[in-house]
Amino acid sequence: MFQDYFQIQAFFLGNSLNSWLWSIVIFFAVLIALKIFKSIIVSRLKALSEKTKTQIDDIVIGAINNIHWPFYVMVSLYAGSFYINLDSIIDKAINYIFLISVVYYVIRFVESLIDYGVNVMIEKKGGQEGVGIIKLGGSVVKIVIWVGAVVLILSNMGYNVTSLIAGLGIGGIAVALALQNVLGDLFSSLTILLDKPFKVGDFIVLGENYGTVERVGIKSTRIILLQGEELVVSNSELTNSQIRNFGKMNSRRIVFNIGVVYGIRPDLLEKIPEFLREIIEKNEKNRLERVHFKEFGDFSLIYEAIFYVNSPDYGEYMDIRQKINLDIARKFEKEEIDMAFPTQTIELKK
């Protein structure tokens, strides 16, 4: 019945005053509804989001708050245009502006989600390792999204985007061929970031080079060698090489031989493994595997001991080895056991 009050048959610009009136009513109704939604409902949702631990709701509220009044006017104008017949040019202009506005704010929201994901990944890394690669990956994703949005808008505007997509593909191939070395290093850096064959601070062996990883960059990795100089290696070379990573080591397996001179009494020879076990097991970080009288050597009677040092630290390992060597020397001196060294006896006969 409400509509009967506005059945006015006068016309203006090809539309009845009744149609214009309804269009204006819808325009202001949508505009007021959006204003109420942003000022009241969104404010309450924002207060609730501050009490939650997740940041996703904060991102959503932030995206809504970043929408400015011209967008609300555009949405209201688009809604009101359904009740009147406009010139085709004006109608298309309203539709295109509305489409561009919606796509723009949707992409801005997606960008905020990408930034959130990038920050989460950086926090999980707990340092500067791979930060540049992660940020670069986020930027590449944003560029791809913007390119896709432009193609979507042009397609809805009636343009034939097939040739444009083909041109982008050909251009992409040309760029890839021109930058294949750079792109190879970039993908290798992503491989290092995701596969994690090593991390910053790990001691690695690359060919004849020994050193500590200082930084993993987008194109290259920097290693501080034992001599103190910096070695810069391309990431593609690293991923194509065999790397020994001592940073992954939890324990060290030690095999050492010790020889004693011939002529020692058999009962004393039998005690030597017990002496070695006692000395090795004295340190709680050592885990003994076995000790045996191995063989009769050319110059000595050889004993073999195998044990593990439960520490990746090389300095600590050397301290333990030094302590074991000194304890063996003291024990053998106390028991009057002579350690062997290469000797040669020459007999002269007349």
Give tens-digit pLDDT for 128-160. 555 666 777 777 788 888 888 887 777 777 767
DSSP calls for 122-137: HHHHTSSTTHHHHHHH
> Which residue carries 């044990």 as its tokens?
307
Separation between Cα atoms, residue 40 and residue 43, nearest integer Å: 5
**What domains can be seen in the chain, in order of their start residue?**
2-128+135-156 (no CATH), 190-248 (2.30.30.60), 252-334 (3.30.70.100)
Separation between Cα atoms, residue 251 and residue 249, nearest integer Å: 6
* Mean pLDDT score across all residues of the chain: 77
Cβ–Cβ < 8 Å for 332, 259: no
Nearest to 294 by CA among 286, 306, 277, 307: 306
Tell me the CA end-to-end span of the chain in Å, nearest whole number.
143
Q: pLDDT tens digits for 82-128?
A: 666 666 676 677 777 778 888 888 888 888 888 887 777 777 765 55
Residue 337 has pLDDT above 80, yes or no: yes
Separation between Cα atoms, residue 324 and residue 330, nearest integer Å: 10
Q: pLDDT tens digits for 177-223?
A: 544 565 666 677 777 777 778 888 888 888 888 888 888 877 788 88
Q: Half-sphere exposure (CA, 13 Å, Cβ side) for 261?
A: 12
Separation between Cα atoms, residue 219 and residue 238, nearest integer Å: 11
pTM for this prediction = 0.48
